[in-house]
Structures are given as C-alpha cells and as structure tokens.
Structure 1
C-alpha cells in the first residue's frame, strides 16, 4: 500500500473476501472487496496533496501533487410549491444557513436558487466565495432574497453548479440539492443529458422535502453523481439534515478515486456493484484504462469504508489449475501529465478443484451482499406492484423483503417495511399489505431501499 505525502490524506487499503475454489467446469468468480480510507482528518479548504508512487505501483512517494481545494454549491428549490405551506420556504432558508455555517474556512462555496431556471444567490458574478466569518455572514444575509415562485427544471440548477465549480478549479467538488416537487419544466431526456454532462465533475447529495417529489428523479440524480439521496418528510428536519450533509462533504479529502479492474485474456466482467453503505450498480460506468483494464468511478473519499461486489467470468480450466481472475486497484488520476497513482491493490483468484465441499461453500460476505442487493430489488418491485394495484405481487415481493431484512439483521429496513406491511412471520416472509399507508412512509421505504448493513462479525 502506498505511503502518503501529507498525514491528513487518507491511506487506502483493499481487502478481498471470496471463495476462490471452483468446481470442474465452473466459470463465475465472486468476490467482495472492502475498501477503507483512514487517517484523513478534516482539513476543509487546506490544499489537498495527493499521494504519488513510482510507476511500478505502490512504492515510496515522490512528493506532493498539484495542490487544489474544496468547493461546494448549495442548490435550493424556490419553485412556487415551496410556499405551500409557507413554513417550507422558511425551513429551506434556515437549513441553507445551517449548512453555510458548517462550511469550513478556505472552502469555495456558492448558493443557487432553482426554479424553471437557475439564479446565483451568493456570491454572484459567476464565481464562488471563499468561506470565512465575513462571507458566511454575507451568504446567510443573501438568503433573505429567496422567494418561492416559478417552475422546476433541475437540470438548469445542476448545469449552473457545474459551471461555478469548474470556474473555481477545485480538486474536490460537491453539490447539495433540495427539491420539493417533480421536475415538470424540462424533459426527462434533458435531465439525463445534464447528468451525463456533469458526471465526474462533481458529486451531489439530493434531498426531497415533503411528499410531492418523485423518488426515482431524486435517487437518479444522486446515483448519477455518486452522492446520497434521502427524504425529509417533515420540513422541520431540514436544518439538521443539511448540517449533517455539509459536515460529511467537508470530510472529503481525496476526489476522483477509481476502482480499476484488470482481467486476463478470455475473462470478462459480469458486474461491479457498490454494496455498502448502499447498493449502486457501477457496471455500465466503465471507462477503458488499458489492455484488459477498466476504471469504475467511486467519487470522493474521507475517513470511511465501502464494500464492492465483483463477478468475473473466467475461461474454463481443468481440476488443479489456478489463475488470477482479476487484479483490483484503487487509482487516483495523475496531475499535470503525471501517471495515475496506485493507492492500493487486491487480487481475486480462481482455483479449480474436485473437492465438492470446497467448491460449493459460499463466502459469507458474498452471500450477505447478494441478499442485500436482492432486498433492494424486491422492495422496488413490491412497491411498483402495489402502485399498479397488483396486491398479490406486492405481497410476495415485500414478504421476501421482510424475510431478507430479518435474516441479514437490516433492522432499519425492517422497521420501514413494517410501516407498509403487517408482518405475520418474518422468518418465512409471511405478510399482509396494510390497508392504509401514508405517502411519507411509502416514499421513505423506496428512497432508502438501497441502504445496506454490513456482515455481522
């Protein structure tokens, strides 16, 4: 594993969990990779010094990379619906003020008002302000200009945030987006094009306030921009949520880390998924990085740990043969023409055996996350069936979800499910659909359906 030029930059490690044994004729290799970054601290706007290594990989550092900084843009929905009830707009102002207060000295920041168009609230002039006591006070004062009126075109908000963050030339770029309604003033295709254009430029956390917004829109924004999504059903909870989001953003120390997968001749990647803390399919986001090598984006990192599930299809080999099925690397892009930097590596192996017990044993981590991915999937299917009036289908899918949540110890998801179904027997997944379910409870379950728990030690 690489050493680092500055102690506040996280150190990365990659641990591989798998059953490497395959039966004769077996071709699919599954592994869970736990990626951990530690020792980062929270430096706010202090220059980021990325680790550098020798060309051969995880060697000694050659020195600091080009210094950069952190930038964040807060996008606040100011459409007409934010005035119903009037407390919603007041809570949005208070939440934004709380987030601004959490921005650390030296971080570049801006506030954008979003309607059917995007407008700079602070500092204006197509730029970001540098956080200190004076600019934070000025920004909070500028929030008085926020008034509800107009429509909703979220793509315009994101494009303005992208322009502001790009103009600041920051190393770690982050957005926080709040909406209370559906994206009614631009087409889904326009929003998709915006997300494609912004992907890789900045990460974005998205929040829906109240119950009049579209879950798949908000979660889709967060997914495309490698951020988090959640519901704040009661606007009174906005300030606490915005403060927590901003604290999380301020803890990021390294941006644009990629999961690089090398596979041997004849092997192919079946899928790559983040499976903790949430399920996120990264398979379609691959960019080629060399012969038989591809990069999958993971976004920005602070002090944290995430799990990834990798499935590789390898060429068939005879009993007694073994091969390297994949080499997993954590990679940081090079600065100023320098080569990419390898932060850590792990190996996925395949060994063919005629020992039936060895080849049929399922690794606990792989089994656990296979179940967590299924849990997220059947919740979505169950809720979709419920909305379409398919009571039998909804009962079957949500019953399976209850069974999976119970077996894996995912207590938070189990509690959310219990607000939508009456649980008769969790172990067998026997449930009855509740006759009355509040919209907030249903949306909360859908929004948080991809949240997972880790393997019980």
Structure 2
C-alpha cells in the first residue's frame, strides 16, 4: 500500500512483448510484460527530497548452537548485523531478533520498534554483544515475531515492511507444516530476503522462505562475506519506495489465464497466488519496488475466433492500494490475439518469449539435474545438467555457466555434452542450486507495445 501524495513515488511503465498472430484454431497467447519503475529516488540511499518513504525492517539472526561451529559464524553474523544497522536510513523503524527454537527480541525489546538515528543505531549495535549461540532452530517462530513487530501500531499502513533472515542450519525444531503455516501467515504482509551461511542449511528451506515472501535467497559460504552481503541487502531495502504493488490481469469472456511467472531477475511462479479482483480480473503480488525493472511471462488461453478476427486477450494493469483503501492504476499494457493464415507470421516466436522460456527451462534442468545427482542417477544428472549447460550457452547466462562448470566438466557447451565431476565442493553445488533461478535479460528486443497511463 502506498500514499501517492509523496513526491518521491516512482513512475511505472508497462511494456508488452509478444507475437500476437495465431494460426487458424490457435488458442494460446504468450507475452512478456516488462514493468519498470523509475524516478522515485536514489536506490539504496536517500531520495532526492531528503526523507525517504516510511519503512520498517526486522533483522532475524540465527543464534542456534551450530552458529558456534566455527566461531567465525557468530562473529560474522554480529558484524554483518551491525553493518546492516549502519545502513538504515534515519527515521526507519527497526528491530533485531535472535532466532533459536524460540524467537527473542534483542533490540529494542518490549514488542516495539526503534526509530533509526545515531543514538538508536549505537544502542542496537551494543545489544549485539548479547547474541550468543545455543539452542535449536524454528524459523517459523522468528517470522511470526517479525510479523508482529512490523505490524506495530506506530508503523503506518503505507510503510514498506521488510525482513532479513540469516540461518546456518536446518529447521529441525518445528515441522515443515509449521514453517509453511508461518509463511502463509506472513505472505503479503512483509517481504523477506533469506541467506544461508556455511553449508549445513537446506537450500529448499531458504529459497522457499524467500519465494513465499517475495524476497531474494543466496548462499554466503564464507562467514567473512556476510558483512558485505548484509550491507548490500539493507541498501537495496532502503531503496524500496512503494509496497504491495500487484499485477492485475483482466481477461474477456471465454479467455483464461493459464499461468503468470516472474522471469527476471529470477524465475518465480505466481500463478497460484492469484486473488480475485472483481469480475474476470485477478491480482498477482509483486512485492515492494524501488528503481528497477522486472519481467513477467503471461500465458492466456483464448477462444478461437477464426482467421481475420482479432481480440484483446488480456489487459495488464499495475495497481496499488492507497492509504484510504482506494486503488490507483499506475500503468497498463494490452495483450492481443490476431488470427491469420499467414504461416510465417503465426509461427514466428517473439524473441523475449523464446528467451525466457529457455531461462525457465534452464532453472528446471539445474534443479532436476542436481536432484538426480544426489539420488545416484548418473545418466539422468548428466543429461539434465548437459541441457542446462547448453541453455546457459545459448542465452548468454555466463554466471550460471560458470557455476555449472564447477559441477560438470564441459566437453561441448553448444551440444550440452558434459561429464559429471567425480568430486564437487558442497558449497559449489549449493550455490548452483540456490542461484538456479537467476536469469539474464534478452537483448535486441522487438514487438514492443507500450501503454504508460501515468498522470
């Protein structure tokens, strides 16, 4: 939710990339929707007007017993949290939580949030001395406490609410169902970045937390890297200027949304997160925004209208709720369907759609290949990871290609010919799995339709 009376609110633009031509009998329309937010202020720092948007941040630090092995993990976590506190903008409300099999308020305590300033930053950093390792891990309790604090009465409804969560181990002191219930309870209430330090944590747990709460996930294999990572995380969080933006998709009678995926900067399936928004319309959450751009793949099934006919397949509107409960449309784009007997027109694949379909397949191939490797299916792992190498090569995803080369020996990237490495560092395998959904953007864009409805 956001109040657009503020001068530092970003402008949004929606661009639609698609081949709108369908063959006779064709029913599936694919489009890449690029959403770009600009002009809201300096990302990671103060907007040009001085004071930034209302924001509240909860930092959750794993203090379970395993954080003492080696002791550099606990020291790294304290240093990283101190650096994140230093990166808080004046006026931002914040709290620090120690997470074990229970969640404890470290600062300021009493069910409150502190307001960032020189005095409270110093006090918060002093309180970090009390962080010590001992106990188990029940991440759901950490998230629920963060939610209660971020929902404090002194946090405006329009505030950007954000969490940063650090863990080094598996969630062994609550059931998967308890963690899922906590995530379901917190979803849509605040965003959360999750980090795993070392190599004893579960990738699917950490990426699942970030996915459910529309944040980022990553590995920090060496505790010495935590300070730089936490600083960057907090600077990014401070650059968020507007919360709870939704992608509203309207379809005409007879048309249905098959799926909606975020495809850049990471692959994230939003299909099942739809909430109804009136007749024939549904909202898909996108979380908080600063100055940035993201891409979404929208697939619509339309009724066959026959050659020579055209229709509006979907209307894409970026919507935010105002403080008074009303909504405001920020920008919109149109997805079209045109039936033709021109074979060349109807079989041409839009480069944006082709690229991101490949990036989604790349993420899936990596995950399935690593699963096969863990289960001892050498042939399956070789085939899947070979396909991943080929897709990374085709799309120019150099970062993923480098990570894959630490798990397989690449014989021929163009054909996806690889051999599994006999010995793989655990940190390298976990890094590949954690970052498997990161994508690169397509170059040389064509077939763009822009519909900017800013005031």
Of 434, 437, 446, the residue aligned with 1:447 is: 434
Distance (whole Å) between structure 2 residues aligned to residue 175 and residue 68 of structure 1: 16
Distance (whole Å) between structure 2 residues aligned to residue 456 and residue 234 of structure 1: 34
How many aligned positions are there? 436
RMSD: 1.6
Q: Contact 1:42/1:253 (CA < 8 Å) preserved in 2?
A: no
2:214 corresponds to: 226
1:367 aligns with 2:354: yes
DSSP 3-state at the match of 1:290: coil
Q: Contact 2:44/2:237 (CA < 8 Å) preserved in 1?
A: no
**1:214 Cα deviation (Å)?**
0.1
Distance (whole Å) between structure 1 residues aligned to residue 358 and residue 226 of structure 2: 32
DSSP 3-state at the match of 2:277: strand
List structure 1 runs of 4+ shifted beyond 4 angstroms: 42-47
**1:333 Cα deviation (Å)?**
1.2
Distance (whole Å) between structure 2 residues aligned to residue 400 and residue 117 of structure 1: 43
Deviations 1:150-184 (A, max 9, x none): 00000000000000000142411000000000000
1:59 corresponds to: none
1:324 corresponds to: 312
TM-score, length-normalised on structure 1?
A: 0.93
Distance (whole Å) between structure 2 residues aligned to residue 430 and residue 218 of structure 1: 31
**1:324 Cα deviation (Å)?**
0.1
Q: Which moved more, 1:104-113 or 1:163-172?
A: 163-172
2:155 corresponds to: 169
Deviations 1:124-158 (A, max 9, x none): 01010000000000000000000000000000000
Distance (whole Å) between structure 1 residues aligned to residue 123 and residue 179 of structure 2: 32
Distance (whole Å) between structure 2 residues aligned to residue 43 and residue 425 of structure 1: 41
- Long gaps (5+) in structure 1: 50-66
Q: Contact 2:45/2:239 (CA < 8 Å) preserved in 1?
A: no
- 1:19-418 to 2 correspondence within 5 Å? 19-42=19-42, 69-167=54-152, 168-170=154-156, 171-337=159-325, 339-418=326-405
Q: Contact 2:367/2:436 (CA < 8 Å) preserved in 1?
A: yes
Q: Contact 1:8/1:43 (CA < 8 Å) preserved in 2?
A: no
DSSP 3-state at the match of 1:240: helix
Q: Which moved more, 1:160-169 or 1:188-197?
A: 160-169
DSSP 3-state at the match of 1:298: strand
Distance (whole Å) between structure 2 residues aligned to residue 390 and residue 80 of structure 1: 35
**1:398 Cα deviation (Å)?**
0.2
Q: Contact 1:211/1:439 (CA < 8 Å) preserved in 2?
A: yes
**1:45 Cα deviation (Å)?**
11
**1:5 Cα deviation (Å)?**
4.3
DSSP 3-state at the match of 2:151: helix
Distance (whole Å) between structure 1 residues aligned to residue 247 and residue 332 of structure 2: 10
DSSP 3-state at the match of 1:106: coil
Distance (whole Å) between structure 2 residues aligned to residue 43 and residue 322 of structure 1: 41
Distance (whole Å) between structure 2 residues aligned to residue 148 and residue 223 of structure 1: 27
Distance (whole Å) between structure 1 residues aligned to residue 223 and residue 30 of structure 2: 43
1:420 aligns with 2:410: no
Distance (whole Å) between structure 1 residues aligned to residue 101 and residue 46 of structure 2: 36
Distance 1:44 1:232, change over 3 A: closer
**1:317 Cα deviation (Å)?**
1.1
Distance (whole Å) between structure 2 residues aligned to residue 346 and residue 324 of structure 1: 11
Q: Contact 1:73/1:109 (CA < 8 Å) preserved in 2?
A: yes
**1:80 Cα deviation (Å)?**
0.1
Q: Contact 1:45/1:107 (CA < 8 Å) preserved in 2?
A: no
Distance (whole Å) between structure 1 residues aligned to residue 282 and residue 292 of structure 2: 24
Q: Contact 2:164/2:192 (CA < 8 Å) preserved in 1?
A: yes
Distance (whole Å) between structure 2 residues aligned to residue 227 and residue 403 of structure 1: 28
**1:6 Cα deviation (Å)?**
3.8
Deviations 1:313-340 (A, max 9, x none): 0001110000000000000013223x21
Distance (whole Å) between structure 2 residues aligned to residue 101 and residue 400 of structure 1: 44
Distance (whole Å) between structure 1 residues aligned to residue 5 and residue 394 of structure 2: 44
Distance (whole Å) between structure 2 residues aligned to residue 32 and residue 43 of structure 1: 25
Q: Contact 1:178/1:206 (CA < 8 Å) preserved in 2?
A: yes
**1:304 Cα deviation (Å)?**
0.2
Distance (whole Å) between structure 1 residues aligned to residue 322 and residue 77 of structure 2: 39
Distance (whole Å) between structure 2 residues aligned to residue 289 and residue 83 of structure 1: 49
